[in-house]
Structure 1
């Protein structure tokens, strides 16, 4: 049986190579897309799979319910949450990870890194793989540090560095630490940056003013449970726990659980906790499934069309005693061999194209057959199972031919009218999918282009951000000296300082604001996101002043408080600037009506002296937040320096800024980034996924073209005599070409009409996630339909022209 299957498989390829090759190519391309996007889905959903504790570990997620603010669940908690929870629930096993900036000193050179302050059980909690050292004792001493293999090579040139010293500077000053363990490098799909780790000490906790302040976020807290039921049981107790711990912090009549919530987020779900990001990854995974389905539709289409070419073979074999069941097994065996060959070709295509996919998608995908052999085998099993299910219909259709009818007819059967209709329906399904994909691709590209070119309320070009000024090792005097020196550079137009940063949310806070006479309530008053800015901040950014005036150091009331006692001095009123959206949230009739008004902000008296235009600093899917700005002539609240320049390239300007920095603060690393690059971290994922979707859409169109060409070639070959008769009776070549093209394009036109409403719904759903979404243009649909028709026309046009050019004598010649 196996030998006859191989023989029949070989003969079907050699006797009808065109149809066999089209079938194989369509399957190979579809399987390649399926493998590539399955690899992406596995990568994105496999974060932290390096840890054997992944299935039992949960990260604490937070959620706030302040009016006018986003209420999405995020990963993070206040520093003291673990301590408070262990008092209430002594049986809990937990640990913490607090990321901090650190400076590494290597001779005269300094490097900026991130160090994790962790509890002593952190290494054993996650079963972190160590190359050298003992997980139980590595973090026992506050003078020890654990480093990764990558950093060991960078700073020591080798990974065998146990007991060697390394000099670090952070919040606790400059100290020498002893390397107590070397951790193996983690895979790319991890959110944990564990290059440097040292013990989180009680002294360091005590220095953090907000360590036990409910509502603050410092770090990530993790818990481990024996089974999901224990986690679910604790989750139900969180509201009551919050109410007990928060008390009357937000008002006598407001429970803490009305303001915030805690969530136990499985570690496996933490990376895709944002539902928008998760939906994007799932959608790309579905594109892979759709590509495979299109390829299988192509297979069914061509297999049923080719059935007539093997009808006499089936008839002869049945006459010689072959049973239908045996024939079906043979045809399914041939399908399995075709699928296996297509899988190998598809796998090869993925291997060859992975560098391109990684480049356009911003990914780090790779196929490792040693560690991922089981996964590759699983993908093969899925492909084979789906393919064999699709092959059932052609196998049953072939084995159902009646020998007497086939051998008595001069024409080969093609499934009759039902077979023709089935093939047309399958082509319609293929091209409807292609048109939907084209519409979405055009919409994606237009939205991404809009995001990158839209007016954000400030000028991002020619703007550099120097993050080094926020290092704790920088004194206020050094910060002032640096900004003054930068202002003196010939190509610098302005320089300022502040913590309202495009593309950076690490230094902002939220508080409620209320007008006189209104109820001051955490659940009822408007909430604003507030930041501290220095002189010339708005002028430097190019922010439009809507009403009132901007900050000026000459006005004493503009200067914000430096201490809590100072802020509550009797009669003190601090001038503030608010955004246009804040005016609306505070129910003022107009920006001009807000000028000079007194309000209560964060339990302090403030006067509104200016209104500026809203600025979009964060992700394009996030709504612009109501904003309030405080002024500090010498900001020291985690500020960065802003530099507006012209007449010089960005690398040249950065080099000048670095040169000045090394002169003023040689012991602190220089970190400078353009505002465009800082914002691009929000745009790049959307752009990369759009690129991947476009590749998938292009291959889907190619699969559709392969199927359409195969169908057109088959139908044309069956109509050779009809074409000859038409030409004998006076039909011109142009009329015959028009007739054939019209019939070939009919399913494509029907598919386009069916696809338009589906594409509109899908595009509208995708655009709904953006705060500043483009309008759905009719040209998206016109362009997509025109593209599908042109592709289809290019596919069958040449074939129709060749068929119509055959001489009638040759076409009508008897076999």
Structure 2
């Protein structure tokens, strides 16, 4: 019986090749787009889900009620973790996690650049990074133990046995010997925690100096709670802990005018579940991803599948009325509803199967390009996930049943006499068709509006004046293979005679995000005239203001002519306002036991992403604060040649340098890659929905015109012109699209208004965006429908009147 249904379905589809082609093509494109978007979404949602104890592991952060509002920090003092362990002995595991400042490992006089993280013994007990070789029970038992990832071990030791070997790691500009105690599996790409090697936290830079200091925050920490303790319960327990160890901080917050939270607390500790770290902007170390992003991808994939399904259903409805006599004959011969449903569903199942196979082939072909364009790290292995399989199985079955079942049910509801004669009322069908088309174009207009607003905001971010000159400045990551001070000195010496070089300086932090993908910030506070002052701090070198084109508002710049400039600072206008002094030049700031004199004030500039407002900033020249980047301003005449000359000189000075140089304007653009990716996805989604909608619209226009063939012939005989007939057909579709645009506008406005709240500097949504989206949708629909409408209007009315 099933075989017979499939045979008849195949013959029917083969007979109506154009119908089958439109449906298979539309559904294949929809399936391919949905698979790619769903792969991305499920990849983002899978972060850190591979850990066995993921439901009990949390990252801890501090929440403070400052006078200017709530401030959060994931950076913690070194003695906090031992204190937590002593105060809460029922904690399963707890571990600090920090960058030890050394990314160079030396073995047999060969140096390798890798990220070495400092952790406690509990780290590998808490997280599921499987040990491949070595001491499985206590891989970090000794202070000089070092655990390597598999890739790191292969790179350093090649075919040698790594466990038991002695290597050296550069920490605080000194080489320390370590014993390789174990090898662990590489961290997956969907891990928030990354490392090439692990050392004991006692090897953390300045550990001995800061191990009892509660006023210096340098690292993050993870805890694993017992099964019977919830996140909320432990956060309540931490209130007393905060009062015990942070009494001075709480007192300061009160004195500075901070307002307590709804539970009366000025300072408290919060927890972020491990599986939420990737989406949490407070604790995410490499930049958070908004959880709305993967949800949005799934929504767009559902939109695209829905639009393709609507086309499928509408075409199936149109063909069902053409096949009314066939259904009537089947009913006369005794066919029941279930049998008619099975026949129609068999046809839709065949179409969906071919579409899914073709869509899968498209995915395999497009995946490398998709990863490159959208900067994604994906693998088809994600398709093995249970949630992904359920998602697509549910979609496939739903589409097959809806596209085949609904038309069959509708036709079966009519009387046998009507279906046998082929004379049935299409009112219900047309209402359903129009409703589905409206939903199609609501989604299309929604995506067009979102695309336009996202593009406007991204363009605004790129073109907004930042307060400094980002053009013609080359940023060079120094790395750990050379002494930073010597590197800057040699660059100044060897580039001094180059005519294309304007100025050279150094700093500890990049502007934007360079090719080394590094992004950092340094915040420090001090008491000034009875109140706490917080500022971002940057270690710079001479000519920094000149190189970045900053404007000196008052005072002077750092100069080698003054021998005491290591005890001087230059601040921005926001920092000057925070001090509350009319002219801060000459003021002394009591910082970390020293008195630093303000010698100059520069204009405010956006040294961070435009998602943040300009914050207080203090520049210092402190040799004890290491440099990480060299900035070189060049003339605009021939930028490629200037870049080649600068990088060539740098390679001679530091031949082991790994990270490439880049221009600051590229770095600034790179820090908005998430927004750029979102904009590309909106554009791609909008184009796909429009293309698929147009395919369906064209097919519906063909069916509508075929149903009105005699009417159009009579109108032509009575004198109707081509324009009149085309307008008659087009106006019904235009009316639906206008209504769709009106429905989509408030939804898009609300959604994008919420998205724009993430930016301190943002555009104002203009009314013309909604008119533009509606106009584009109407224009596309008119062009699509007009092709067939003009053909019908030009047809011979004699043939139209003879048609049955």
TM over 0.5: yes
Q: Distance in 1 between matches of 2:27 and 2:137?
A: 52
> In the alignment, what sits opposite 1:538?
545
After superposition, residues 788-803 of structure 1 pair within 5 angstroms as: 788-803=777-792
Q: CA deviation at 1:217?
A: 3.5
Match 2:392 to one of 377, 380, 388: 380
Worse-matched range after superposition: 241-250 or 204-213? 204-213
Match 1:323 to one of 336, 344, 367: 336
The answer to whether the 8 Å contact 1:312/1:406 transfers is yes
Q: Distance in 2 between matches of 1:804 and 1:653?
A: 68
After superposition, residues 236-255 of structure 1 pair within 5 angstroms as: 236-249=236-249, 251=251, 254=254
Q: CA deviation at 1:326?
A: 3.6
Q: Deviations over 1:538-585 (max 9, x none)?
A: 1111012334443445457x7354xxxxxxxxxxxx6x4332334555
Match 1:652 to one of 636, 644, 652: 644
After superposition, residues 294-305 of structure 1 pair within 5 angstroms as: 294-305=307-318
Residues 1:577 and 2:570 are matched in the alignment: yes
Q: CA deviation at 1:434?
A: 0.8
Match 2:483 to one of 470, 474, 478: 474
Q: Distance in 2 between matches of 1:182 and 1:138?
A: 9
Residues 1:134 and 2:135 are matched in the alignment: yes
Q: CA deviation at 1:227?
A: 2.4
The answer to whether the 8 Å contact 1:727/1:808 transfers is yes
Worse-matched range after superposition: 698-707 or 98-107? 98-107
Residues 1:806 and 2:795 are matched in the alignment: yes
Say which SS state the counterpart of residue 623 (structure 1) adopts: coil
> In the alignment, what sits opposite 1:66?
66
After superposition, residues 210-289 of structure 1 pair within 5 angstroms as: 210-214=210-214, 216-227=216-227, 229-249=229-249, 251=251, 254=254, 258=265, 260-274=267-281, 277-289=290-302
Q: Distance in 1 between matches of 2:75 and 2:348?
A: 52
Match 1:776 to one of 759, 765, 770: 765
The answer to whether the 8 Å contact 1:103/1:668 transfers is no
Q: Distance in 2 between matches of 1:480 and 1:669?
A: 20
Q: CA deviation at 1:248?
A: 1.8
> In the alignment, what sits opposite 1:571?
none
CA pair 281-547 structure 1, distance change in 2 beyond 3 A: farther
Say which SS state the counterpart of residue 671 (structure 2) adopts: helix
> In the alignment, what sits opposite 1:725?
714
The answer to whether the 8 Å contact 2:147/2:184 transfers is yes
Match 2:447 to one of 426, 437, 440: 437
Q: Distance in 2 between matches of 1:387 and 1:667?
A: 57
Q: Distance in 1 between matches of 2:230 and 2:728?
A: 70
> In the alignment, what sits opposite 1:83?
82
Q: Distance in 2 between matches of 1:619 and 1:480?
A: 30
Say which SS state the counterpart of residue 453 (structure 2) adopts: helix
Say which SS state the counterpart of residue 496 (structure 1) adopts: strand
Say which SS state the counterpart of residue 790 (structure 1) adopts: helix
Q: What TM-score do the two structures reach when normalised by structure 2?
A: 0.88
Q: Distance in 2 between matches of 1:267 and 1:444?
A: 30
Match 2:361 to one of 348, 365, 372: 348
CA pair 812-271 structure 1, distance change in 2 beyond 3 A: same
Q: Distance in 2 between matches of 1:28 and 1:622?
A: 42
Q: CA deviation at 1:327?
A: 2.7
> In the alignment, what sits opposite 2:434?
424
The answer to whether the 8 Å contact 1:463/1:644 transfers is yes
Residues 1:715 and 2:727 are matched in the alignment: no
Q: CA deviation at 1:672?
A: 4.4
Residues 1:643 and 2:653 are matched in the alignment: no
Structure 1: which 5+ residue stretches go unaligned? 562-573
Structure 2: which 5+ residue stretches go unaligned? 282-287, 513-517
Q: CA deviation at 1:204?
A: 4.6
Q: Distance in 1 between matches of 2:110 and 2:473?
A: 27
Q: Deviations over 1:476-506 (max 9, x none)?
A: 5665555455545543211223335413663
Q: CA deviation at 1:720?
A: 1.4
Say which SS state the counterpart of residue 220 (structure 1) adopts: strand
The answer to whether the 8 Å contact 1:532/1:632 transfers is yes
Q: What TM-score do the two structures reach when normalised by structure 1?
A: 0.87
Match 2:565 to one of 538, 559, 565: 559
CA pair 776-230 structure 1, distance change in 2 beyond 3 A: closer
The answer to whether the 8 Å contact 1:31/1:295 transfers is no
Q: Deviations over 1:672-726 (max 9, x none)?
A: 4443344344211211222122212211111211221121111011111112212
Q: CA deviation at 1:195?
A: 1.5
Q: CA deviation at 1:290?
A: 1.9
CA pair 441-136 structure 1, distance change in 2 beyond 3 A: same
Q: Distance in 2 between matches of 1:69 and 1:183?
A: 43
Compute the RMSD of aligned alpha carbons.
3.3
Say which SS state the counterpart of residue 456 (structure 2) adopts: helix
Match 1:619 to one of 601, 609, 612: 609
Q: Deviations over 1:97-137 (max 9, x none)?
A: 22233213366664432111222343333231233323324
